[in-house]
Structure 1
């Protein structure tokens, strides 16, 4: 069992939802009130396969991670096959997609994604995560509940008056508290989805190598600050929520590693590689920070993550 504080046992020894348990019917209904204009904004990066022309140079992704493979299983040259299958006079196309969500597309981490020692979140045995999938804490549990919550944007780039943060920048607990006070929206509340904007996807257009090196993100004390406020989910527009060094690793030790603090100790799901530029501009124009946040992972049985297409309803 991890050192306190943690959420192990809070929702029972068999719990596999973590802080998604906070999304009670009452909180979901209350979250709907954060949608005031009905405007919907998509928060996902596009999925473009490595075989789609210039896609590898066009979509942010981590170095060394396999790009999505998207190809047509029935294309323009297969009209005859489609006609035989469906009926005379009809034409069809079909495709196939193979992807590894971590580091290549907007995704949500399952609670089995990271741990230390021999146990996963809530004491589930780590040896249940095998080559055929995770027998405990797979993303299918989050998919069964979904994330429908009040979202709160912490726009760290705007707070610092820059277009994007520098790779060495870390957003700490004190800065989160400053942004929360400025928002004046009781942010964050228990059960909220907290979104962090660093502006880091903009670095890809400047230089993909810069994007794939060190990157800004939350500091260790920020993770503890968010856990203390009982948030349901933490999402960011970088690839790891926390900041990374040039080697693609966290500078913190195991006690302070943000993935371990949030995923492993507290059961707080993470969502990474969001696109937050339009949302940030819209919220700034309306002088607000909260909205209705919806993210529905795929029910990939035993999956350590799932691609998601999150949306904000203003």
Structure 2
């Protein structure tokens, strides 16, 4: 499995941060130079309501996954910790949020999310991944991501609103976007697939477009630190919401396991795509910070693009 290129040992035998090691101070300073207009955009899907209402079902998600839950009350009626008196005539509402990130909301995968055999990225033992968390390569090892982001707006290049469920993005599509890729960049790949939700859940669940294995290798060869996409798995999915690639060509294995390249999934890229097209730009400052969930396989994030 490791016969092809990989980053194991590149930053030392104990490394658990992978390609985020590329974000040296000078790389971050150079990324800050992408801010020329001072316009900040959120790239996340909303977390909307609890299952006591239909609100969560109105946000794109994979079928059968536990939806994010947000409980809040101003009268204590919805959640036991909802309201506390803090003084004469004053009340304060509290929140409770329950999230299983994978497939349900905008999130960042940790390097311990997937592996092969008995080894995580960089040869760390997989037997340290347990119900109480991963002893190696958890999301808490990542830290904040501040990098140059580059947008691959594939639907715009193809002249369509969004890609079809069976479309796969290869090296030729990425090259056609005309993006200059530098070491340490965050490659942001737009498929337009969240727009399928407007046609109904069944349309969204009919499969998903995404990177092909060769498209993934093309990005890995260019030393990106993260690949972010608006689909649910970076690679494509079939109608059963599974990847068709074998283990050698699985995008999570190529990025997370072999190269230590992080993945951010289920972004909302429509506003960024419009603004970037109007400005004639493909680069911007990308910022995202996972929660410090010790041993976590992922974390919800709110990625920010600053142009």
Give the TM-score normalised by the residue count of structure 1. Answer: 0.94
How far is 1:79 from its partner? 11
Per-residue CA deviation, residues 172-222 of structure 1 (Å, 9 max, x unaligned), is 01211221xx34xxx211000000000000000112112123100000001
- Give the conservation status (yes or no) of the 8 Å contact 2:47–2:69: no
How far is 1:232 from its partner? 0.7
Map 1:1-314 to 2 at 5 A: 2-51=2-51, 53-72=53-72, 75=75, 77=77, 82-83=84-85, 86-142=86-142, 144=143, 146-179=144-177, 182-183=178-179, 187-314=180-307
Q: Structure 1 290/2 Cα, relative in aligned 2: closer, same or farther at 3 Å? A: same
Give aligned pairs, total: 305
Alignment partner of 1:215: what SS?
coil
Alignment partner of 1:159: what SS?
helix
Alignment partner of 1:5: what SS?
coil
Distance 2:167 2:4 in 1: 28
How far is 1:80 from its partner? 11
How far is 1:56 from its partner? 3.1
Q: Which runs of 5 or more residues in structure 2 are unaligned?
A: none
Q: Which moved more, 1:301-310 or 1:52-61?
A: 52-61
Alignment partner of 2:6: what SS?
coil
How far is 1:54 from its partner? 2.2
How far is 1:49 from its partner? 3.4
Per-residue CA deviation, residues 205-256 of structure 1 (Å, 9 max, x unaligned), is 1121121231000000011111100001000000001011112111111111
Give me the CA root mean square deviation.
1.6
Distance 1:213 1:44 in 2: 22
Q: Structure 1 81/249 Cα, relative in aligned 2: closer, same or farther at 3 Å? A: closer
- Give the conservation status (yes or no) of the 8 Å contact 2:110–2:139: yes
How far is 1:89 from its partner? 2.5
Q: Structure 1 29/252 Cα, relative in aligned 2: closer, same or farther at 3 Å? A: same
Distance 1:75 1:136 in 2: 43
- Give the conservation status (yes or no) of the 8 Å contact 2:73–2:83: no
Alignment partner of 1:195: what SS?
strand
Distance 2:221 2:53 in 1: 46
